[in-house]
Amino acid sequence: MGRRWGFLIGLLGAVCLLRSGHGGQQPPETAAQRCFCQVSGYLDDCTCDVETIDKFNNYRLFPRLQKLLESDYFRYYKVNLKRPCPFWNDISQCGRRDCAVRPCQSDEVPDGIKSASYKYSEEANNLIEECEQAERLGAVDESLSEETQKAVLQWTKHDDSSDNFCEADDIQSPDAEYVDLLLNPERYTGYKGPDAWKIWNVIYEENCFKPQTIKRPLNPLASSQGKSEENTFYSWLEGLCVEKRAFYRLISGLHASINVHLSARYLLQDTWLEKIWGHNITEFQQRFDGILTEGEGPRRLKNLYFLYLIELRALSKVVPFFERPDFQLFTGNKVQDEENKMLLLEILHEIKSFPLHFDENSFFAGDKKEANKLKEEFRLHFRNISRIMDCVGCFKCRLWGKLQTQGLGTALKILFSEKLIANMPESGPSYEFHLTRQEIVSLFNAFGRISTSVKELENFRNLLQNIH
Protein backbone atom coordinates (compact mmCIF):
# COMPACT_ATOMS: atom_id res chain seq x y z
CA MET A 1 0.00 0.00 0.00
CA GLY A 2 2.85 2.41 0.90
CA ARG A 3 4.63 1.88 -2.43
CA ARG A 4 1.40 2.26 -4.38
CA TRP A 5 0.62 5.48 -2.53
CA GLY A 6 4.13 6.79 -3.17
CA PHE A 7 3.72 5.98 -6.85
CA LEU A 8 0.41 7.88 -6.96
CA ILE A 9 2.01 10.95 -5.33
CA GLY A 10 4.86 10.76 -7.82
CA LEU A 11 2.39 10.49 -10.68
CA LEU A 12 0.46 13.54 -9.50
CA GLY A 13 3.73 15.43 -9.14
CA ALA A 14 4.62 14.56 -12.72
CA VAL A 15 1.25 15.84 -13.88
CA CYS A 16 1.98 19.11 -12.03
CA LEU A 17 5.18 19.49 -14.01
CA LEU A 18 3.31 18.89 -17.24
CA ARG A 19 0.73 21.50 -16.33
CA SER A 20 3.39 24.06 -15.52
CA GLY A 21 4.80 23.88 -19.03
CA HIS A 22 7.68 21.44 -18.56
CA GLY A 23 6.11 18.49 -20.28
CA GLY A 24 4.75 19.74 -23.55
CA GLN A 25 1.07 19.20 -24.29
CA GLN A 26 -1.16 19.32 -21.22
CA PRO A 27 -3.19 16.16 -20.59
CA PRO A 28 -6.76 16.39 -19.29
CA GLU A 29 -6.89 16.75 -15.53
CA THR A 30 -8.54 14.24 -13.27
CA ALA A 31 -10.65 15.33 -10.31
CA ALA A 32 -7.93 14.16 -7.91
CA GLN A 33 -5.25 16.17 -9.69
CA ARG A 34 -7.30 19.37 -9.50
CA CYS A 35 -7.53 19.05 -5.70
CA PHE A 36 -4.19 17.52 -4.80
CA CYS A 37 -1.78 18.36 -7.60
CA GLN A 38 -0.23 21.22 -5.61
CA VAL A 39 -0.54 19.47 -2.23
CA SER A 40 2.77 17.63 -2.27
CA GLY A 41 6.38 18.23 -1.43
CA TYR A 42 7.70 20.64 1.18
CA LEU A 43 5.49 23.04 3.12
CA ASP A 44 6.20 26.76 3.40
CA ASP A 45 8.09 27.76 6.58
CA CYS A 46 8.78 24.07 7.29
CA THR A 47 11.38 21.43 6.52
CA CYS A 48 8.74 18.70 6.33
CA ASP A 49 6.95 17.34 3.27
CA VAL A 50 3.35 16.24 2.85
CA GLU A 51 4.23 12.65 1.96
CA THR A 52 6.14 12.09 5.22
CA ILE A 53 3.20 13.43 7.24
CA ASP A 54 0.72 11.19 5.40
CA LYS A 55 2.76 8.05 6.00
CA PHE A 56 3.45 8.86 9.65
CA ASN A 57 -0.12 9.87 10.51
CA ASN A 58 -2.15 7.36 8.54
CA TYR A 59 -0.21 4.20 9.35
CA ARG A 60 1.64 4.81 12.63
CA LEU A 61 -0.35 7.32 14.64
CA PHE A 62 -4.00 7.53 13.60
CA PRO A 63 -5.21 4.04 14.73
CA ARG A 64 -3.73 4.31 18.25
CA LEU A 65 -4.86 7.90 18.69
CA GLN A 66 -8.44 6.98 17.83
CA LYS A 67 -8.38 4.16 20.39
CA LEU A 68 -7.19 6.59 23.08
CA LEU A 69 -9.88 9.15 22.25
CA GLU A 70 -12.59 6.50 22.63
CA SER A 71 -11.65 5.97 26.29
CA ASP A 72 -13.75 7.49 29.07
CA TYR A 73 -11.15 10.06 30.06
CA PHE A 74 -11.09 11.68 26.62
CA ARG A 75 -14.66 11.20 25.42
CA TYR A 76 -16.29 13.39 28.12
CA TYR A 77 -15.77 17.13 27.69
CA LYS A 78 -17.31 19.75 29.96
CA VAL A 79 -18.54 22.80 28.08
CA ASN A 80 -20.87 25.77 28.51
CA LEU A 81 -22.93 26.11 25.35
CA LYS A 82 -25.17 28.79 26.90
CA ARG A 83 -22.61 31.58 27.18
CA PRO A 84 -23.86 34.71 25.40
CA CYS A 85 -22.04 36.06 22.38
CA PRO A 86 -19.83 38.94 23.60
CA PHE A 87 -19.78 40.75 20.25
CA TRP A 88 -23.31 40.94 18.86
CA ASN A 89 -26.87 40.06 19.85
CA ASP A 90 -28.51 39.00 16.59
CA ILE A 91 -27.61 35.30 16.75
CA SER A 92 -29.86 33.12 14.64
CA GLN A 93 -30.05 29.72 16.33
CA CYS A 94 -29.91 26.73 14.04
CA GLY A 95 -33.25 24.93 14.19
CA ARG A 96 -32.12 21.73 12.51
CA ARG A 97 -32.10 18.64 14.71
CA ASP A 98 -28.54 17.82 13.63
CA CYS A 99 -27.39 21.09 15.23
CA ALA A 100 -28.51 19.92 18.67
CA VAL A 101 -26.16 18.58 21.34
CA ARG A 102 -27.30 15.99 23.86
CA PRO A 103 -25.51 16.56 27.19
CA CYS A 104 -24.77 13.65 29.50
CA GLN A 105 -27.01 12.68 32.37
CA SER A 106 -25.28 12.71 35.75
CA ASP A 107 -25.07 8.91 35.98
CA GLU A 108 -23.48 8.61 32.52
CA VAL A 109 -20.20 10.30 33.49
CA PRO A 110 -17.64 8.29 35.50
CA ASP A 111 -17.47 9.44 39.12
CA GLY A 112 -13.73 9.95 38.92
CA ILE A 113 -14.17 12.55 36.17
CA LYS A 114 -17.07 14.35 37.84
CA SER A 115 -15.34 14.68 41.21
CA ALA A 116 -11.97 15.85 39.94
CA SER A 117 -11.73 18.14 36.97
CA TYR A 118 -8.26 19.23 38.04
CA LYS A 119 -6.92 16.14 39.84
CA TYR A 120 -5.10 13.16 38.40
CA SER A 121 -4.43 10.75 41.27
CA GLU A 122 -6.71 8.51 43.32
CA GLU A 123 -5.23 9.85 46.55
CA ALA A 124 -6.07 13.42 45.64
CA ASN A 125 -9.58 12.52 44.52
CA ASN A 126 -10.39 10.80 47.79
CA LEU A 127 -9.96 14.15 49.52
CA ILE A 128 -12.70 15.79 47.48
CA GLU A 129 -15.67 13.53 48.19
CA GLU A 130 -17.23 15.71 50.92
CA CYS A 131 -16.81 18.81 48.74
CA GLU A 132 -18.59 17.49 45.68
CA GLN A 133 -21.37 20.06 45.96
CA ALA A 134 -19.08 23.05 46.50
CA GLU A 135 -19.30 25.71 43.82
CA ARG A 136 -16.11 27.61 44.61
CA LEU A 137 -12.53 26.63 45.23
CA GLY A 138 -12.56 28.23 48.69
CA ALA A 139 -15.02 25.62 49.93
CA VAL A 140 -12.84 22.84 48.55
CA ASP A 141 -9.72 24.11 50.32
CA GLU A 142 -11.01 23.15 53.78
CA SER A 143 -10.76 19.42 53.07
CA LEU A 144 -7.44 19.43 51.20
CA SER A 145 -3.96 18.98 52.60
CA GLU A 146 -1.76 22.06 52.82
CA GLU A 147 0.38 20.83 49.89
CA THR A 148 -2.67 20.18 47.72
CA GLN A 149 -4.19 23.56 48.60
CA LYS A 150 -1.00 25.27 47.49
CA ALA A 151 -0.94 23.29 44.25
CA VAL A 152 -4.57 24.07 43.45
CA LEU A 153 -4.10 27.78 44.09
CA GLN A 154 -0.96 27.89 41.98
CA TRP A 155 -2.67 26.00 39.16
CA THR A 156 -5.67 28.30 39.24
CA LYS A 157 -3.44 31.36 39.24
CA HIS A 158 -1.51 29.97 36.29
CA ASP A 159 -4.67 29.09 34.39
CA ASP A 160 -5.77 32.71 34.64
CA SER A 161 -2.37 34.10 33.71
CA SER A 162 -1.25 35.77 30.53
CA ASP A 163 0.21 32.50 29.23
CA ASN A 164 -3.19 31.21 28.17
CA PHE A 165 -4.18 31.61 24.55
CA CYS A 166 -7.85 30.82 25.09
CA GLU A 167 -10.70 32.09 27.20
CA ALA A 168 -11.86 28.82 28.69
CA ASP A 169 -15.31 28.07 30.04
CA ASP A 170 -15.92 28.28 33.77
CA ILE A 171 -16.53 24.58 34.35
CA GLN A 172 -17.91 25.36 37.82
CA SER A 173 -20.78 27.28 36.21
CA PRO A 174 -24.20 25.62 36.57
CA ASP A 175 -24.57 26.03 32.79
CA ALA A 176 -21.50 23.88 32.09
CA GLU A 177 -22.41 20.30 31.19
CA TYR A 178 -20.54 17.16 30.23
CA VAL A 179 -20.91 16.08 26.62
CA ASP A 180 -20.05 12.65 25.23
CA LEU A 181 -18.02 13.51 22.14
CA LEU A 182 -18.57 10.06 20.63
CA LEU A 183 -22.34 10.53 20.73
CA ASN A 184 -22.12 14.09 19.38
CA PRO A 185 -19.66 13.71 16.47
CA GLU A 186 -18.52 16.58 14.31
CA ARG A 187 -20.28 16.34 10.97
CA TYR A 188 -22.38 18.30 8.50
CA THR A 189 -25.39 19.88 10.21
CA GLY A 190 -26.76 22.18 7.51
CA TYR A 191 -25.51 25.27 9.35
CA LYS A 192 -24.39 27.61 6.59
CA GLY A 193 -25.30 30.85 4.87
CA PRO A 194 -24.93 34.40 6.25
CA ASP A 195 -24.69 33.34 9.90
CA ALA A 196 -21.84 30.89 9.35
CA TRP A 197 -20.15 33.30 6.93
CA LYS A 198 -20.27 36.07 9.53
CA ILE A 199 -18.34 33.96 12.07
CA TRP A 200 -15.48 33.19 9.70
CA ASN A 201 -15.50 36.71 8.30
CA VAL A 202 -14.97 38.22 11.76
CA ILE A 203 -12.23 35.70 12.49
CA TYR A 204 -10.32 36.47 9.30
CA GLU A 205 -10.94 40.18 8.87
CA GLU A 206 -10.75 41.38 12.48
CA ASN A 207 -8.39 38.90 14.12
CA CYS A 208 -5.80 37.90 11.55
CA PHE A 209 -2.87 40.25 11.02
CA LYS A 210 -3.73 42.15 7.85
CA PRO A 211 -1.70 45.03 6.39
CA GLN A 212 -3.80 48.14 5.71
CA THR A 213 -2.63 48.11 2.10
CA ILE A 214 -4.48 44.84 1.43
CA LYS A 215 -8.01 45.59 0.27
CA ARG A 216 -9.12 42.11 -0.75
CA PRO A 217 -10.91 40.14 2.02
CA LEU A 218 -8.79 37.54 3.81
CA ASN A 219 -11.88 35.40 4.25
CA PRO A 220 -11.66 32.68 1.57
CA LEU A 221 -15.46 32.43 1.65
CA ALA A 222 -15.74 35.99 0.34
CA SER A 223 -16.45 36.39 -3.35
CA SER A 224 -13.24 36.25 -5.36
CA GLN A 225 -12.18 39.15 -7.53
CA GLY A 226 -10.60 36.91 -10.12
CA LYS A 227 -7.60 34.68 -10.67
CA SER A 228 -5.38 37.58 -11.58
CA GLU A 229 -5.31 38.67 -7.92
CA GLU A 230 -4.35 35.27 -6.51
CA ASN A 231 -0.60 35.94 -6.46
CA THR A 232 -1.15 39.49 -5.18
CA PHE A 233 -3.35 38.16 -2.40
CA TYR A 234 -0.68 35.81 -1.10
CA SER A 235 2.30 38.08 -1.71
CA TRP A 236 1.46 40.02 1.47
CA LEU A 237 1.91 36.81 3.48
CA GLU A 238 5.48 36.55 2.25
CA GLY A 239 6.13 40.08 3.47
CA LEU A 240 4.91 39.40 7.00
CA CYS A 241 7.08 38.12 9.83
CA VAL A 242 6.94 34.37 10.36
CA GLU A 243 4.68 34.71 13.45
CA LYS A 244 1.94 36.71 11.71
CA ARG A 245 2.18 34.50 8.65
CA ALA A 246 1.86 31.44 10.86
CA PHE A 247 -1.20 32.90 12.62
CA TYR A 248 -3.12 33.18 9.36
CA ARG A 249 -2.04 29.71 8.28
CA LEU A 250 -3.18 28.20 11.59
CA ILE A 251 -6.66 29.71 11.24
CA SER A 252 -6.85 28.72 7.57
CA GLY A 253 -5.71 25.19 8.48
CA LEU A 254 -8.35 24.90 11.20
CA HIS A 255 -10.99 26.13 8.76
CA ALA A 256 -9.84 23.58 6.17
CA SER A 257 -9.85 20.74 8.69
CA ILE A 258 -13.42 21.52 9.74
CA ASN A 259 -14.50 21.57 6.09
CA VAL A 260 -12.86 18.18 5.51
CA HIS A 261 -14.83 16.73 8.44
CA LEU A 262 -18.11 18.16 7.13
CA SER A 263 -17.45 16.75 3.67
CA ALA A 264 -16.44 13.33 5.02
CA ARG A 265 -19.45 12.98 7.34
CA TYR A 266 -22.14 14.45 5.17
CA LEU A 267 -25.84 13.59 5.43
CA LEU A 268 -26.29 11.71 2.15
CA GLN A 269 -29.77 10.37 2.85
CA ASP A 270 -32.40 11.25 5.45
CA THR A 271 -35.58 9.20 5.58
CA TRP A 272 -37.96 8.15 8.31
CA LEU A 273 -36.19 4.78 8.32
CA GLU A 274 -32.58 5.84 8.59
CA LYS A 275 -29.88 8.46 8.11
CA ILE A 276 -26.88 7.71 5.95
CA TRP A 277 -23.67 9.67 6.51
CA GLY A 278 -20.70 9.47 4.21
CA HIS A 279 -18.25 11.17 1.89
CA ASN A 280 -19.71 13.93 -0.27
CA ILE A 281 -17.26 14.29 -3.13
CA THR A 282 -19.08 17.28 -4.63
CA GLU A 283 -18.96 19.17 -1.34
CA PHE A 284 -15.25 18.43 -1.00
CA GLN A 285 -14.55 19.66 -4.53
CA GLN A 286 -16.47 22.89 -3.96
CA ARG A 287 -14.20 23.64 -1.01
CA PHE A 288 -10.84 22.38 -2.30
CA ASP A 289 -10.87 21.91 -6.08
CA GLY A 290 -8.10 24.04 -7.60
CA ILE A 291 -10.28 25.31 -10.43
CA LEU A 292 -13.55 25.77 -8.54
CA THR A 293 -11.76 27.73 -5.81
CA GLU A 294 -9.49 29.61 -8.24
CA GLY A 295 -6.33 28.15 -6.73
CA GLU A 296 -7.40 28.68 -3.11
CA GLY A 297 -8.34 25.06 -2.26
CA PRO A 298 -4.87 23.45 -2.46
CA ARG A 299 -3.46 26.29 -0.33
CA ARG A 300 -6.06 25.55 2.32
CA LEU A 301 -5.01 21.91 2.39
CA LYS A 302 -1.34 22.83 2.76
CA ASN A 303 -2.29 25.06 5.69
CA LEU A 304 -4.05 22.06 7.25
CA TYR A 305 -0.74 20.19 7.14
CA PHE A 306 0.97 23.22 8.69
CA LEU A 307 -1.53 23.12 11.57
CA TYR A 308 -0.84 19.39 11.95
CA LEU A 309 2.88 20.07 12.39
CA ILE A 310 2.28 22.79 14.98
CA GLU A 311 0.09 20.58 17.17
CA LEU A 312 2.38 17.59 16.64
CA ARG A 313 5.34 19.67 17.84
CA ALA A 314 3.47 20.78 20.96
CA LEU A 315 2.69 17.17 21.87
CA SER A 316 6.36 16.24 21.49
CA LYS A 317 7.32 19.09 23.83
CA VAL A 318 4.90 18.21 26.62
CA VAL A 319 6.01 14.58 27.06
CA PRO A 320 7.77 15.24 30.42
CA PHE A 321 4.52 16.48 31.95
CA PHE A 322 2.77 13.17 31.23
CA GLU A 323 5.79 11.00 32.10
CA ARG A 324 5.73 12.01 35.77
CA PRO A 325 4.94 8.94 37.91
CA ASP A 326 2.14 10.66 39.86
CA PHE A 327 0.24 11.67 36.74
CA GLN A 328 -2.85 9.59 35.97
CA LEU A 329 -5.69 9.78 33.48
CA PHE A 330 -8.00 9.34 36.44
CA THR A 331 -11.54 8.05 35.90
CA GLY A 332 -11.85 5.75 38.92
CA ASN A 333 -11.23 2.57 36.91
CA LYS A 334 -7.68 1.73 38.01
CA VAL A 335 -6.98 -0.92 35.37
CA GLN A 336 -8.31 1.17 32.52
CA ASP A 337 -6.51 4.28 33.79
CA GLU A 338 -3.15 2.48 33.81
CA GLU A 339 -3.72 1.04 30.35
CA ASN A 340 -4.69 4.45 28.97
CA LYS A 341 -1.59 6.10 30.42
CA MET A 342 0.59 3.43 28.79
CA LEU A 343 -1.17 4.02 25.46
CA LEU A 344 -0.85 7.79 25.88
CA LEU A 345 2.91 7.52 26.48
CA GLU A 346 3.29 5.17 23.51
CA ILE A 347 1.61 7.75 21.30
CA LEU A 348 3.69 10.62 22.70
CA HIS A 349 6.96 8.74 22.21
CA GLU A 350 5.89 7.89 18.67
CA ILE A 351 5.24 11.59 18.09
CA LYS A 352 8.60 12.49 19.61
CA SER A 353 10.31 10.15 17.13
CA PHE A 354 8.89 12.04 14.14
CA PRO A 355 11.97 13.06 12.13
CA LEU A 356 10.85 16.41 10.69
CA HIS A 357 9.29 18.42 13.51
CA PHE A 358 8.44 22.09 13.04
CA ASP A 359 11.15 24.37 14.45
CA GLU A 360 9.34 26.79 16.72
CA ASN A 361 12.59 28.55 17.66
CA SER A 362 11.98 30.99 14.81
CA PHE A 363 8.94 32.31 16.70
CA PHE A 364 9.49 35.53 18.66
CA ALA A 365 13.25 35.22 18.31
CA GLY A 366 14.11 38.87 17.60
CA ASP A 367 14.58 41.82 19.94
CA LYS A 368 13.24 40.75 23.34
CA LYS A 369 11.00 43.78 23.83
CA GLU A 370 9.52 43.56 20.33
CA ALA A 371 9.22 39.78 20.59
CA ASN A 372 7.24 40.02 23.84
CA LYS A 373 4.98 42.65 22.32
CA LEU A 374 4.35 40.47 19.26
CA LYS A 375 3.70 37.42 21.43
CA GLU A 376 1.11 39.37 23.42
CA GLU A 377 -0.61 40.50 20.20
CA PHE A 378 -0.56 36.91 18.96
CA ARG A 379 -2.08 35.66 22.22
CA LEU A 380 -4.81 38.33 22.35
CA HIS A 381 -5.83 37.75 18.73
CA PHE A 382 -6.20 34.04 19.34
CA ARG A 383 -7.94 34.56 22.67
CA ASN A 384 -10.47 36.74 20.87
CA ILE A 385 -11.13 33.96 18.36
CA SER A 386 -11.91 31.58 21.21
CA ARG A 387 -14.55 34.06 22.43
CA ILE A 388 -16.11 34.24 18.94
CA MET A 389 -17.01 30.55 19.25
CA ASP A 390 -19.79 31.58 21.66
CA CYS A 391 -21.42 33.38 18.73
CA VAL A 392 -21.89 30.23 16.61
CA GLY A 393 -25.61 29.57 16.15
CA CYS A 394 -25.31 25.79 15.70
CA PHE A 395 -24.71 24.16 19.08
CA LYS A 396 -22.86 21.16 17.70
CA CYS A 397 -20.65 23.46 15.63
CA ARG A 398 -20.14 25.60 18.74
CA LEU A 399 -19.13 22.53 20.76
CA TRP A 400 -16.48 21.42 18.29
CA GLY A 401 -15.37 24.98 17.57
CA LYS A 402 -14.78 25.65 21.27
CA LEU A 403 -12.99 22.33 21.76
CA GLN A 404 -10.69 22.76 18.76
CA THR A 405 -9.79 26.38 19.51
CA GLN A 406 -9.05 25.45 23.13
CA GLY A 407 -6.96 22.53 21.90
CA LEU A 408 -4.95 24.74 19.57
CA GLY A 409 -4.63 27.37 22.28
CA THR A 410 -3.27 24.71 24.64
CA ALA A 411 -0.77 23.64 21.96
CA LEU A 412 0.44 27.24 21.66
CA LYS A 413 0.68 27.52 25.45
CA ILE A 414 2.92 24.44 25.45
CA LEU A 415 5.17 25.71 22.68
CA PHE A 416 5.80 28.94 24.57
CA SER A 417 6.38 27.20 27.92
CA GLU A 418 9.44 25.15 27.02
CA LYS A 419 11.57 26.46 29.90
CA LEU A 420 8.76 25.95 32.42
CA ILE A 421 8.30 22.36 31.27
CA ALA A 422 12.04 21.72 31.50
CA ASN A 423 12.07 22.97 35.12
CA MET A 424 9.19 20.80 36.33
CA PRO A 425 9.93 18.52 39.29
CA GLU A 426 10.06 14.80 38.49
CA SER A 427 7.25 14.18 40.99
CA GLY A 428 4.80 16.15 43.07
CA PRO A 429 2.82 19.25 42.09
CA SER A 430 4.07 21.29 39.14
CA TYR A 431 3.59 24.94 40.10
CA GLU A 432 5.12 26.64 37.08
CA PHE A 433 3.54 24.56 34.30
CA HIS A 434 0.26 22.75 34.58
CA LEU A 435 -2.49 21.45 32.30
CA THR A 436 -6.07 21.09 33.54
CA ARG A 437 -8.14 18.11 32.53
CA GLN A 438 -10.08 20.42 30.18
CA GLU A 439 -6.86 21.40 28.44
CA ILE A 440 -5.69 17.80 28.16
CA VAL A 441 -8.99 16.57 26.71
CA SER A 442 -9.20 19.46 24.25
CA LEU A 443 -5.51 19.16 23.25
CA PHE A 444 -5.74 15.50 22.26
CA ASN A 445 -9.22 15.70 20.74
CA ALA A 446 -8.25 18.75 18.68
CA PHE A 447 -5.19 16.94 17.38
CA GLY A 448 -7.40 13.89 16.79
CA ARG A 449 -9.56 16.04 14.51
CA ILE A 450 -6.53 17.20 12.52
CA SER A 451 -5.21 13.64 12.34
CA THR A 452 -8.61 12.49 11.09
CA SER A 453 -8.58 15.20 8.43
CA VAL A 454 -5.21 14.03 7.10
CA LYS A 455 -6.52 10.46 7.01
CA GLU A 456 -9.69 11.58 5.22
CA LEU A 457 -7.61 13.32 2.56
CA GLU A 458 -6.29 9.90 1.60
CA ASN A 459 -9.86 8.64 1.34
CA PHE A 460 -10.89 11.58 -0.84
CA ARG A 461 -7.82 11.11 -3.04
CA ASN A 462 -8.86 7.52 -3.69
CA LEU A 463 -12.48 8.46 -4.35
CA LEU A 464 -11.55 11.29 -6.71
CA GLN A 465 -9.05 9.12 -8.53
CA ASN A 466 -12.02 7.06 -9.80
CA ILE A 467 -13.68 10.15 -11.27
CA HIS A 468 -12.47 11.18 -14.72
The model's pLDDT over 261-307, given as tens digits with 9 standing for 90+, comes to 999 999 998 887 888 999 999 999 999 998 888 888 888 999 999 99
* 257 contacts 450 by C-beta, under 8 angstroms: yes
Distance CA 385, CA 407 (A): 13
Residue 18, domain member (yes or no): no
pLDDT at 301: 93
- 138 in a domain, yes or no? no
Residue at 9 is within a domain: no
Active site residue 394: yes
Domain that holds residue 248: 31-111+163-466
Domain count, the chain: 1
Catalytic residue of the set 16, 94, 104, 394: 394
135 found inside a domain: no
Mean pLDDT along residues 26-37: 68
Inside any domain, residue 392: yes
Mean pLDDT of the chain, nearest integer: 78
For residue range 151-181, list pLDDT tens digits in order: 555 554 444 445 677 777 777 788 889 999 9
Mean pLDDT on 233-261? 79
Task: Kindly state whether residue 152 falls inside one of the protein's structural domains.
Answer: no
- Is residue 119 within 8 A of residue 128, CB to CB? The reply is yes
pLDDT confidence bin for 13, thresholds 50/70/90: very low
Count of residues making up the chain: 468
Which range, 43-52, 171-180, 340-349, has the best average confidence (pLDDT)? 340-349
**Does the annotation count 397 as an active-site position?**
yes
Pick from 229-233, 238-242, 423-427: least confident: 229-233
Structural domain includes residue 261: yes
Higher-scoring residue by pLDDT: 212, 396: 396
Amino acid at 427: S
pLDDT in tens, 92-113: 777 678 888 988 988 889 888 8
pTM of this structure: 0.81
Identify residue 457 by its one-letter amino acid code.
L
Statement: residue 26 has pLDDT above 70: no
**Share above pLDDT 90 across residues of the chain, in percent, rounded to a whole number:** 37
Quick check: 144 pLDDT over 70? no
Task: Could you list the residues known to form a binding site, using ranges.
Answer: 187, 189, 200, 252, 255, 287
Q: Is residue 311 part of a domain?
A: yes
